[in-house]
Structure 1
Amino acid sequence: MEVINDLRTMDGDSDTALSDEELVTAEKVLAALEEAWLNEKFSPELLQHRTDLVDCMMEQISQMEENLNRLNKTDFRVVVHRMELDRIRYVITSYLRIRLEKIELFTAHILEEDSKRNSDDSYLSPAEFRFATDFLASVESHFRQLALRHMPTNMQNCDKAKMSVKPNISSFVFLRSKQNVSGVVVEGDVENRDEEIDLEEGSQHIMQYKTVQELVKSGQIQLI
């Protein structure tokens, strides 16, 4: 986050500096976006979209670009800060790309689950929803043209439930507890019963995603 901190001190002209309010906002937005990116990267399922953070960070990048353009081009710090801006752009691009890959893989399942939620709780952004519905329609159309139309009439039904691919929430993930969490139930195997454990703030663990699924979504747990 050095670029956000240092841009305010790289030029003597106060007009080229970010205000204190903008500085705090940029730092918080970037930290939240990086956390959302890591959670999305390591979570087997699609999490709720944070396009609000993406849009806000893109606005911050535009402002920081304007500040950099006003500075002396021979100042080595400008190069360093441009590298940091590229890193922020990478986080944004990677976050959006990971979500699109999940949408393409679990399209039918994601749309089915999202249909059970109200618009405020939707995991898909409006743009992602349009992409998912268009993508699923294209896949179904291609499947019908390629295979179903050549089959007997009684076998031409396209059952979305059977075609649906679901994320493996039983897969294991690395995590760090952001706060003290008590009463986490770890599912046992055939020989062992379920176990209840407490997670200390800052402690790191590896366990099945379904065990901490809701804790990740509530922000108590960070995937790493």
Structure 2
Amino acid sequence: MEDDLALSDEASDAGSEEVLTPAELINKLEEAWLNEKFAPELLESKSEIVECVMEQLNHMEQNLQRARQGDLKISFHHMEIERIRFMLSSYLRSRLHKIEKFFPHVLEKEKARGEGEPPHLSPEEFAFAKEYMANTEALLKNVGLRHMPPNLQTLDLIKCVPKPNLDSFVFLRVKEEQQSILVEPETDAQSEYAIDMEVGSQHLIRYRTIAPLVASGAVKLI
């Protein structure tokens, strides 16, 4: 992996780019993969990372084709390519699984997204979610609901499909020091309290409490 790749920085001024080495790019993919794997909700789309990783995989495969046969490094590069492909496919599968499981809530959240906020769905995922919802509604209407009384033939999928459980607990590692993070009590007898989190420290905490920190990259799920 030789070439540095440019990744747009959506949080900064338009047109700015963050130049990543291949190793930094793969680290970003791994973090996005683990965050998506362990977060109970669908996270912000990292489509630019996906595109850059796919481009890097193409570079690596082209380099392997030019490598001298019998070179011991070829087997190591093959293993690295397979490792990256596994992370990439697992990341995309995790996202598709959440879209299928929470599709009405995912679409509702995307619809309510404010101007300037990063999308939670890539264009392809958005098209998939809309098609999945349309097919689900058509199936229910044609197979199940038509046998119901007229007053029960309207189904609100938002109410019928469960929401992501934001109160589930997750493990995390702190990347940026955090002070006075408010933690909700476990029981009604307890009161809310604040904790400080040092860089490198690990915690088991309710996801809802640290969801904004996951989104900002201040912590990562493990």
Q: Structure 2 length normalisation: TM-score?
A: 0.89
Q: Secondary structure at the match of 1:183?
A: strand
- State the Cα deviation string for residues 164-203 of structure 1 (Å, max 9, x = none): 3210010000001102100101101211100101000000
Q: Give the stretch that moved more between structures: 92-101 or 185-194.
A: 185-194
- State the Cα deviation string for residues 75-123 of structure 1 (Å, max 9, x = none): 1210111011110011000000000000000000000011011475220
Out of 55, 80, 93, the position equivalent to 2:76 is 80
Q: Give the stretch that moved more between structures: 102-111 or 113-122.
A: 113-122
**Alignment partner, residue 104 of structure 1:** 100
Is 1:218–2:211 an aligned residue pair?
A: no
Q: Secondary structure at the match of 1:75?
A: coil
**Alignment partner, residue 31 of structure 2:** 35
Q: Structure 1 length normalisation: TM-score?
A: 0.89
Q: Take 1:134 and 1:50, find their aligned partners in 2: how far apart are those partners?
A: 21
Q: Give the stretch that moved more between structures: 145-154 or 130-139.
A: 145-154
Aligned residues between the structures: 207
Q: Secondary structure at the match of 1:121?
A: coil
**Alignment partner, residue 131 of structure 2:** 134
Is 1:71–2:71 an aligned residue pair?
A: no
Residue ranges of structure 1 left out of the alignment (5+ in a row): 5-17
Larger Rg: 1
Q: Take 2:162 and 2:107, find their aligned partners in 1: how far apart are those partners?
A: 12
**Alignment partner, residue 56 of structure 1:** 52
**Alignment partner, residue 167 of structure 2:** 170
Is 1:185–2:182 an aligned residue pair?
A: yes
CA-based RMSD of the aligned residues comes to: 1.4
Q: Give the stretch that moved more between structures: 78-87 or 24-33.
A: 24-33
**Alignment partner, residue 25 of structure 1:** 21
- Alpha-carbon contact 1:179-1:220 (below 8 Å) kept: yes
Shift of 1:65: 1.0
